[in-house]
Amino acid sequence: MIYLQISTAQGPAECRIFARFVLKKLLAEAEARNVKAEIAGETADKHGILSAVLMLEGAAADTLAQSWQGTLQWVCASPVRPKHPRKNWYIGIFRLPEKPEMPSEGEIEFQTCRSGGKGGQHVNKTESAVRATHKASGISVRVESGRSQHANKKRALELLAHKLAEHQTAQNTDYAKQQHSGLYQVARGNPKRVFEGPNFRERRT
C-alpha cells in the first residue's frame, strides 16, 4: 500500500483549484493502470482541495506514484482574481510512510511475571502479568489488572495496538510538517509535471 499526500501548503485559492484537478487526474490514471485508488482523507473548501491523502495498491502503484511525486506547476491566469499578475501556481505530492496493520502475535514478544499490584492472593501467586513488546519498534506495554494470563494478554494486545497507532500518527504528522515546510522551498524551476491554461493541458517535455 502506498500513501500519497497532495498538499497546497496553505496556498491561495488557485492552488486549491489546481489540487482538485490533480486529484481527479491521478484517480483517472490509477484506473487506467489497474491501480486501486482510495481517498483516505481530504480537506476541501469552495475552491478546491487544501490537502488530500490517497491510498494506492496494485502492481503499477509504485510507478504511478513516482510519476507524480514532487512539485507540480500550473501556468494560468487566475480564474478567481482576473487582474492578479501571478500566473504560476505550485502544489506538491509527497509519499507518506505506510501505516502499519495490527501486528500479528508473531511480531510481538510476550513475557509473563507475577503481578505486583492489588488483586488478592490469587493474582500474586501466579504469573498473570503480561508484558507485550512490538519487536520492530520496541514499543511495549505491561498489563496486570486481569486475574488470568489470557485476559491480560488480550488487553496487552489492545493497548499495544493503540500505542502503535499513536506512534504512527506522530510519525505521519512530523513527516507531513517536513514536507509542507519543504514545499515552500521547492526548486520551482524544475517541477515534476507542468499544466497550462484553464483546461489544464499538460506540457510535454
Q: Which residues pair with 41 in a beta bridge?
A: 53
Strands 70-75 and 108-113: unpaired
Asked if residues 31 and 96 have their Cβ atoms less than 8 Å apart, the reply is: no
Note down pLDDT in tens along the chain; length 205 residues: 898 889 887 789 999 999 999 999 999 999 999 999 988 778 889 999 988 888 899 999 999 999 999 999 999 999 999 899 999 999 989 887 765 455 677 888 988 877 665 444 444 456 678 888 988 888 888 888 767 888 888 888 877 877 777 676 666 666 556 555 555 544 456 789 999 999 999 998 6
Q: Which CATH architecture has domain 2-100+186-202?
A: 2-Layer Sandwich (3.30)
pLDDT in the model for residue 23: 97
Q: Which residues pair with 56 in a beta bridge?
A: 2, 37
CA angle (48, 96, 179) in 5-degree steps: 70
pLDDT in the model for residue 103: 65
End-to-end Cα spacing for the chain: 30
pLDDT in the model for residue 185: 45
Asked if residues 143 and 160 have their Cβ atoms less than 8 Å apart, the reply is: no
In which region does residue 65 sit, left (phi positive, over 0), alpha (psi from -120 to 50) or beta (all else)? alpha
Would you list the domain boundaries of the chain? 2-100+186-202, 105-165
Question: Which grid coordinates belong to 15?
Answer: 492552488
pLDDT in the model for residue 42: 86
Burial of residue 159, with CB atoms counted within 10 A of its CB: 0-12 exposed, 13-18 middle, 19 or more buried: middle
Asked if residues 126 and 149 have their Cβ atoms less than 8 Å apart, the reply is: yes
Read off φ and ψ for residue 65, nearest 5 degrees.
Answer: -60, -45
The CATH label, of 3.40.1010.10, 3.40.10.10, 3.30.160.20, 3.40.228.10, for the domain at 105-165 is 3.30.160.20
Q: How far apart are CA 143 and CA 132, in angstroms?
A: 8
CA angle (48, 63, 194) in 5-degree steps: 45
**pTM: predicted TM-score of the whole model, two decimal places:** 0.62
